[in-house]
Amino acid sequence: MCDLLRINTDRGVMIHDQESRFSIKGKPIYHFVGTSTFSEYTVVRAGCVASLNPEAPLDKVCVLSCGICTGLGATINVAKPKPGSSVGLASAEGARISGASRIIGVDLVSSRFELAKKFGVNEFVNPKDHNKPVQEVIAEMTNGGVDRSVECTGSIQAMISAFECVHDGWGVAVLVGVPSKDDAFKTHPTNFLNERTLKGTFYGNYKPRTDLPNVVEKYMRGELELEKFITHTVPFSEINKAFDLMLKGESIRCIIRMDE
């Protein structure tokens, strides 16, 4: 099983037999990164299926994919901020659930701060508003650095800033975003010698089959607020509109309805 799971999903075929499950006019249609999530029906390995609470509304829990679970888990499962701690460059919902009292959002678009408040962000920094690196700005704001930071953009500079903005001695930075293959992470070795910790995560350290049902239960108990992530709903025929909204930064999560 482990050897099978190491196969690159970019090949667009099923892991079990290396075949595609879709075709049109006799030609194979390959699976998008091994998931084919734009399909109304699909075929997956039994070991990749999670059983969810049958009362959970599918038009809400369907957003519990990489975009939410990765950021949520990066904070809750990896960064693990203690109640009352400060979190910078935050995956904010996870920080809110964990009880962080000071959540600092970092974004190049200042207008997003109002929306970020819904996720617990109570302070905001736009790097373009300062003439010094954002990690220095955050260090000054927090008297030495934040307790935890989470980077979610894939920008190599944001990754460096996330690491360098945590406090000496106990600060933990978690990298979530996927950088360009040619990027290189560079920081002074003293940042490690001063006992800062750098971690990475894939899917927020969640194991979908066993952990996803528990994340759904968090939502069902009202601990996780999914509705505020959903900003748009479009029919499949307008899927390009969803991509446009994403590229313009005007949406958080867009639901694609297959039945319209």
Segment 118-122 long-range contacts (CB within 8 Å, at least 24 positions apart) = 118/228, 119/92, 119/93, 119/228, 120/92, 120/93, 120/95, 120/96, 121/90, 121/92
Choice between 5 and 137, residue whose per-residue pLDDT is larger: 137
Q: Is beta strand 27-29 parallel, antiparallel or unpaired with respect to 22-24?
A: antiparallel
Q: Give the whole-angstrom CA distance, residue 35 versus residue 203.
A: 14
pTM equals 0.80
pLDDT, residue 78, reads 92
Tens of pLDDT along 205-218? Answer: 998 889 999 999 99
Q: Give the whole-angstrom CA distance, residue 34 versus residue 29.
A: 12
Range 180-187 average pLDDT: 90
Residue 230, strand partner residues: 253
Structural domains in the chain?
Answer: 1-49 (no CATH), 67-205 (3.40.50.720)
pLDDT, residue 125, reads 94
